[in-house]
Amino acid sequence: MTDSIVKQHQPGSTILTLHCTDAAVGYIRRYLTKHPAHQGLRISIEQRGCSGYAYVIEPNTTIHDQDMTVSIATDMVAVVEARYVPMLNGVTLDLEKQGLNEKLVFQNPNASGTCGCGESFTINVD
């Protein structure tokens, strides 16, 4: 597995490490071509599902003061709001293919469990 550029330190905050396989970078690049005004991907977490949390991926429109950025390719960044950094730090994004379908999958070392369908997860962060 090859990682993209994975770390960027923002003053006054922790280091965010995000690994992204080449296959995931290709998928993100194709996804963002459908949203040409956006240069990056916003990754967040929301409460839902039977295990408590789910990942949210959307084109990034604005970088706020509380956001951290990680370069995932020379022309793309991932944006994560600081409050989600402890939950997402160390995550590996990979691409899963099932027949004609593709989706990003998160391998999260902070997750303590997932639901049976794999759509949500539990997490224990101090």
- Domains of the chain by residue range: 7-123
Report the predicted TM-score, pTM, of the whole model to 2 decimal places. Answer: 0.78
CATH superfamily of domain region 7-123: HesB-like domain (2.60.300.12)
Give the Å distances, CA to CA, from 86 to 2, 11, 14, 77, 108.
23, 16, 9, 18, 11
Contact between 87 and 109 (Cβ < 8 Å) = no
Write out the chain's pLDDT in tens, 126 residues. Answer: 444 444 444 555 567 888 899 999 999 999 988 988 887 899 998 887 666 888 899 998 888 888 888 888 888 889 998 888 888 888 899 999 989 999 898 888 877 766 655 566 667 665
